[in-house]
Structures are given as C-alpha cells and as structure tokens.
A and B are shown apart, each in its own frame.
Chain A
Amino acid sequence: MKASLIQHSQALLFLLTFTGTLLAHTSLSRADGSLVTDISSHLISVTSDFTGTDLLLFGTVRGDIASDGQEHGDIIVVIRGPETEVIVRKKERIAGIWANTDALEIDKVPGFYASASNRPVREITSGNTLDRLRIGPERIAFRELESRSDAVDFKRAIVRQRQAEQLYTDGQSKVYFLGPSLFRTTIHFPANVPVGTYTAEFYLFKNGDLISAQSSPLFIKKSGLGRQIYDFAQNHPAWHGLAAIIIALIAGWVASAIFRKE
C-alpha cells in the first residue's frame, strides 16, 4: 500500500545539481526521455526477520541512442544511503598501549553505497567525469570539518571499514542489457543497512559522454513489532525504561518460580 503510493507520487527527479556542468559537455537536454527507469520497490520494510534484500533496478534507453552505431550506451547505477556525520579516531602507541590520540569529524558520510555498471566504470568514461559524479566509494564527497593534510587517511579509513561491513560496494553486481535498449541489475542490501532515505541514480553514457541522468528516492524503514518498539523507546523513554525493568523483574521471577516446582 505504502510502496504503491510512493511509486505513484514519485516523479522522475533529475539531478539538478549536475545539470549545469553536464550541459557544458553535451547539447542534450536532461529531460529528453532518453532514459526511462524504475525500481522493483521504493520501500524496503525492515521487520524482525529482516536478513537483507535484493532490489531489481531496470529501465530502457531510447531507441535511436540504442541503435546508433554502437549497440547501446553504457549504464551506471548508483545507490546512496542516508548521510550522517561521524568522528574518526586514530590510535597511536603510548607507553605500550594503543590509545586514541587524534580525531577528525567528517560530514556527508553515506550509510550505504553501491554501484553497478555494464562494464568497468573506467572503461565507460574519464576519471574526471567519475570524480564529478562521485561514482565509486573512493570518490564519495566526504566533507571534513577541519582542513588538514592527512584528512585523506581518515576518509580512506571510513571507506575501508564500510567496505569490510559490505556497506560500500563497488561493481559487485553488473548491469545486463536484454536486447538493444532494455537493461536491468540487482543490488543487494545486507541485514545491517541503515534505515533512512536513499537515492537510486541512473547514468547513461555514450562514447564516454554523459547523455542522461535520473535519480529516484528509495526508503528503508523499520516496520512491524520492531518499529513499534523503536517508536516507543524514542517517544516515551521514561515509560520504556520502566517497562524494560518490569519485564526483567517478571522474567526473573517466572524463571525462579518454574525451577522451584521441579
């Protein structure tokens, strides 16, 4: 119900921020309908048995682009999770003990990042374009809150650790063309994905030039019992605390009573 509402109300959002720079590179308008895309679901519900999920992302490339000389254009799909601010701490050895000695606050850190393409992104377009569009975990636009020369080490640490947790992935899934214009890919969301508002971005390239770009929202929300518990804890923290204590008291008493009878 919710998912269909969102699907209906969802307009095809264009990457307005990029439009200016893109227009300089290509004469094509962003709203020319050369790319039509959708996602199998715009809402992922995280219930108490959530173990991760796969989303199907698909679309078509307009006929004349698809059939002109080269078989079809190139597609890059990027999913970005909700951005948060983090503090990255660095350890150093002091008197034999490893202790945090240095810290850097970094903003605009997405909780999730995944990309897929029909061939390696470096073959599709130039490094400059990839940089500008922030394609690839190593090109995410982290923003450190204080400028310093070794900030890049801290940012690399974020990417390294998130990659280890499978939260940042790069080219793990592939975009497949089914015929000249229809394409599809699946993106895996592991069980530890953060909840929040995501965006799915689709880029169409032809001979290394960006021809069209689209972005649509994607929501990951808690639902069911877990959602109710979470809301209760957030909205009524004092009652939640009391409830937690009472549950514990009852659990302890029940266990003791059961074992006494034996």
Chain B
Amino acid sequence: MPVYLPIAEISVNLFLILGMGGAVGLLSGMFGVGGGFLMTPLLIFTGIPPAVAVATGANQLVAASVSGVLAHWRRGNVDLKMGTVLLVGGVIGSFFGTWIFTLLKEQGQVDLLISISYVLFLGVIGGLMLVESIGALIRRKQGVVRRKKLHQHYWIHGLPFKMRFRKSKLYISALLPIGLGVLVGILSAIMGVGGGFIMVPAMIYLLGMPTSVVIGTSLFQIIFVTANVTFLHSFATQTVDVMLALLLMSSAVIGAQFGTRIGAKLRGEQLRSLLALLVLAVCLKLAVDLVLRPEDLYTIGLLGG
C-alpha cells in the first residue's frame, strides 16, 4: 500500500516503512541506542532524500526514546543528574556539529566524511565492545570469579569540579560527562543520529557507570538532543517529514516496548556482545561501500532547493 510523503515528495510502501520502524524500534529498546545509525541509512536506501532521512529520523527518535525512557524510569534506571550534565555538553556539541556539517556541505564532501566517521566510530567501538564482552562471557563460563575493584583510578579522577552521582555510584569530575556530551553532540549533528551507540559504551567504559543505569540515562539525554536536531532542521531546511515520522514512530515505539522487555531478560555481557555485532555489521557494510566501485561514478544533487 503506497503512501505519498509530502516533504520527501515521493511515494513509499506503507508496510515497508512500518516494518523498518518496528525492527529498528525493537533493537533500540533492547540496547538503549536510539537506532538512528540504522534508521538513517535504511531510509536513504528506500529512496528518501538524505536530508529528509536525517531530519525525520531525529524526529522519530524523540518518540522512541521517550517511550524507552519511561519504561526505564519505572524501574529506577535513569540517573537524572548524570543525564542533565551530559545534556549540557550535548547541546554545546550539537551547535559545533551543525557548524562543521554546514562547512563540509559547502565542500561537497559531507557524504564521504559521514561515511568515514561512521566506519571509524562503529569499528572502534564495536571492536572494543566485542572483545570485552566475549572475554566476560568466557570468564563467566569458566567460572573464574575475579574480584574487581569497584573503580580503577586513572588521571581523569584527578580533575576538578567533582560531583557525586549517587545512582551511578560515581564520584567524578563534572568535566568528564560534559566533555563526553560535547563529543557526542558534535558527532550526532554530523552523523544524524542520537549518539546512543557512542554514548552507551562511553558511559560504561569511560565513566564506569553500571550497565543497568546506562541505557535509561542515555535515552534520557537523547530525547533532548534529537528534539533539538528536529527543531534546527525544521527551522533551517524544512526537511522534517511529519507523515514519515508518524509512520516510523507508531511502529518504532511498539517495537521499542518489546525490545525493552527482551533487553531486561538478557545479561549485560550478552547484551553488549549483541550490540557489538550489530555495530560491526553496519560498519562493515559502510566500509565495503566506500571501497567497492560504485555503480555510477556520478551523483546528482539538487541546488537552490
């Protein structure tokens, strides 16, 4: 059944869009990532103009993360204080990111740089997570119980402006989450994603937050980052397609609810290794596309539209 999208200006198959939304929603609920790194490429693949895909994807992520965060909230898995501090950084970063994006767009290199940053970040993060989580799974199987210190101490623990995050059982410098927020804000504006796939591992490995709190807290700050991106795109480029967003939302929020339930039943290491595999699969696909000779060496972009 075809549906005409007023902003994207093309007809799409209703069930294809609903199916994509549901599948991405399921994964986002399971792993606590917004799913933008899957949704945006999928939308572009169905023929939706990249600018519309990025902006509408962000709009859809607002709904998906609201429904996800409420489910985590009820289980007490959201560190509000940490989320707010991350958000401050995220807002600063997203302005930087938008500026960089505009600069690259003028050079005609924005697609390449998006692809390269995807490959780099997905590759490094996916690889690290996979190695770590498989190691943890093996240790569990062998029954080797290694008493770990609650926190290891690096140089970063010497930074000033220390804050206590009770839910995360952390006492660290506020500069750390703010810096992380800035970094993720920049990347999310450039790559058109919520940034959960970077935020989640960074919170686990860099900040040392407990996995149970990470997902809810990450979703919490993604709501605001994606809402900001939605507004900026709608205001500056009018590329948010509400029709498309509604279709994606309606299926993605349902998918996310199921995903959250599945996620709650899986152990942390299992969850992390699955997410790592997913991240690596997307990375591989993008890397192959960069290296393979494209079907057509020429691409057409609209001007003054």
Binding site for B on A (CB under 8 A): 46-52, 84-93, 96-100, 103, 105, 153-154, 157-158, 160-161, 191-192, 194-195, 222, 225-227, 229-230, 233-234, 237-238, 240-245, 247-249, 251-256, 259-260
With CB as the reference atom, state the residue of chain B lying closest to A107. B303
- Interface secondary structure of B, over-half rule: helix
- A153–B298 Cα distance when bound, in Å, is 9
Chain B: interface residue total (CB-CB under 8 A): 62
Tell me if B143 is interfacial: C-beta within 8 Å of chain A. no
* Pick from A96, A237, A256: contact of B66, CB under 8 Å: A256
Tell me if B290 is interfacial: C-beta within 8 Å of chain A. yes
Question: Given A241-B235, A244-B234, A252-B249, is A161 in contact with B296 using a C-beta cutoff of 8 Å?
Answer: yes
B residues in contact with A222, CB < 8 Å = 6
Binding site for A on B (CB under 8 A): 2-7, 9-11, 47, 59-60, 62-68, 70-71, 74, 108-109, 111-112, 116, 227, 230-236, 238, 240, 242-243, 245-246, 249-250, 253-254, 256-257, 290-294, 296-305
A residues in contact with B65, CB < 8 Å = 252
* Pick from B109, B233, B293, B303: contact of A98, CB under 8 Å: B293
Question: Given A50-B4, A248-B230, is A256 in contact with B62 using a C-beta cutoff of 8 Å?
Answer: no
- A94–B139 Cα distance when bound, in Å, is 44
Q: Are A87 and B67 in contact (CB under 8 A)?
A: no
Q: How far is the CB of B290 from chain A (nearest CB, A)?
A: 5
Identify 17 residue pairs between A and B in the complex whose beta-carbon atoms are under 8 Å apart, listed by A's number: A48-B6, A87-B302, A87-B303, A88-B298, A90-B298, A93-B293, A97-B291, A98-B292, A99-B112, A154-B298, A191-B10, A192-B47, A195-B9, A233-B242, A244-B231, A244-B245, A251-B246
Cβ-Cβ contact count across A and B, 8 Å cutoff:
197
Closest 10 CB pairs of A and B: A252-B66, A241-B234, A157-B298, A255-B253, A191-B11, A226-B6, A248-B62, A256-B70, A248-B63, A252-B67
Q: Are B62 and A105 in contact (CB under 8 A)?
A: no
A residues in contact with B108, CB < 8 Å = 87, 89, 100, 103
- A42–B254 Cα distance when bound, in Å, is 43
- A237–B232 Cα distance when bound, in Å, is 9
Q: Are A237 and B62 in contact (CB under 8 A)?
A: no
Q: Are B231 and A245 in contact (CB under 8 A)?
A: yes
Q: Are B62 and A86 in contact (CB under 8 A)?
A: no
With CB as the reference atom, state the residue of chain B lying closest to A260. B74
A residues in contact with B235, CB < 8 Å = 237-238, 241
Q: Are B249 and A251 in contact (CB under 8 A)?
A: yes
* Pick from B236, B293, B299: contact of A89, CB under 8 Å: B299
- A143–B71 Cα distance when bound, in Å, is 57
Q: Are B296 and A229 in contact (CB under 8 A)?
A: no
Question: Given A160-B296, A161-B300, is A229 in contact with B291 using a C-beta cutoff of 8 Å?
Answer: no
List 16 other contacts, CB 8 Å, given A98-B292, A226-B6, A241-B233.
A84-B304, A89-B301, A100-B108, A103-B108, A160-B298, A192-B10, A192-B47, A222-B6, A229-B7, A230-B7, A234-B238, A238-B231, A238-B235, A244-B230, A247-B249, A248-B62
Q: Are A226 and B59 in contact (CB under 8 A)?
A: no
B residues in contact with A249, CB < 8 Å = 62-63, 66, 227
Q: How far is the CB of B43 from chain A (nearest CB, A)?
A: 15
With CB as the reference atom, state the residue of chain A lying closest to B302. A86
A residues in contact with B66, CB < 8 Å = 248-249, 251-253, 256
Question: Given A191-B2, A192-B11, A248-B66, is A87 in contact with B301 using a C-beta cutoff of 8 Å?
Answer: yes
Q: Are A100 and B109 in contact (CB under 8 A)?
A: yes
Question: Given A51-B2, A255-B257, is A85 in contact with B245 using a C-beta cutoff of 8 Å?
Answer: no
Q: How far is the CB of B23 from chain A (nearest CB, A)?
A: 16
A residues in contact with B302, CB < 8 Å = 84-87
Q: Are B109 and A158 in contact (CB under 8 A)?
A: no
